[in-house]
């Protein structure tokens, strides 16, 4: 059993208007709406709006390339670490700006109470709307250059048997993140990644 990630797009004004002590609980309700899940249905992929009827100001993204596991995101980050120094400098700058808040983020917004349980995983990402807008700009600059990473990736980051084995798997996951960022940006919303 490993760590899973559930990514929510949220109306930041609604989130901030939610009482401080109940914010995380409301997001957990949106991430896993127990009374609304059809356990016999095929898993959904892509966006679900609203994420839960009790939290109509949220949407949940279901990654089709990861089965919900955080491992693919972790290994995408590791692959970028492996190939970053060999990327075109413009692409490096743009992908650093795109990936850093998504894969190495810490909640420094003060929106959520500190968790006193050291064994409970912390939020995996917290991106207010201005951060999401910046991510969309970084992706718009990176996407046309992404294919130039194929050969350096094959030499420096490809790893058969790893969650992100090759450039194609890396690119698929990045493009899914672009869908996540694009929809949140279109709505003027933020993003939160919950460990579930």
pLDDT of residue 180: 96
Range of the domain at 182: 5-195
For residues 6 and 31, what is the distance between their CA atoms, to the nearest angstrom? 6
pLDDT of residue 16: 94
pLDDT of residue 19: 92
Q: Which backbone phi and psi does 83 adopt, to 5 degrees? A: -105, -10
pLDDT of residue 40: 59
pLDDT of residue 42: 64
Q: Token digits for 89?
A: 């400098």
Q: Token digits for 21?
A: 């002590």
For residues 16 and 145, what is the distance between their CA atoms, to the nearest angstrom? 37
For residues 184 and 97, what is the distance between their CA atoms, to the nearest angstrom? 17
Give, for all 196 residues of the chain, the pLDDT tens digit: 468 889 999 999 999 999 988 998 899 899 887 665 555 566 567 899 999 999 999 999 988 877 778 888 889 999 999 999 999 999 999 999 999 988 876 656 677 776 655 445 567 889 999 999 999 999 999 999 999 999 999 999 998 888 899 999 999 999 999 999 999 999 999 999 988 7
> Which parts of the chain fold into alpha helices (H)?
12-17, 23-31, 71-83, 89-103, 129-142, 150-156, 167-187
Strand-pairing partners, residue 7, are 61, 193
pLDDT of residue 1: 44
Contact 51, 4 (CB under 8 A): no
Q: Token digits for 107?
A: 């909640």
pLDDT of residue 103: 81
CA neighbor of 71 nearest in space, from 166, 164, 179, 165: 164
Split into its structural domains, the chain has a count of 1
pLDDT of residue 78: 93
């Amino acid at each position: 059993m490993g760590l899973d990630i559930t990514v929510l797009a949220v109306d930041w004004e609604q989130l901030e208007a939610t009482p401080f002590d109940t914010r995380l609980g409301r997001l957990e309700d949106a991430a896993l709406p127990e009374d609304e899940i059809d356990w016999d249905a095929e898993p959904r992929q892509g966006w679900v709006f609203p994420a839960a009827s009790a939290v109509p100001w949220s949407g949940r993204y279901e990654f089709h390339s990861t089965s919900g596991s955080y491992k693919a995101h972790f290994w995408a980050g590791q692959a970028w670490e492996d190939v970053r120094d060999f990327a075109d400098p413009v692409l490096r700058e743009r992908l650093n700006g795109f990936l850093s808040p998504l894969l190495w983020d810490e909640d420094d917004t003060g929106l959520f109470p500190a968790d006193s349980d050291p064994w409970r995983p912390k939020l995996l990402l917290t991106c207010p709307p201005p951060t999401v807008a910046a991510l969309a700009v970084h992706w718009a600059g990176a996407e046309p250059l992404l294919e130039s990473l194929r050969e350096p990736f094959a030499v420096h980051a490809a790893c058969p048997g790893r969650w992100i084995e090759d450039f194609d798997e890396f690119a698929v996951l990045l493009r899914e993140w672009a869908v996540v960022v694009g929809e949140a940006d279109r709505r003027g919303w933020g993003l939160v990644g919950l460990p579930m």
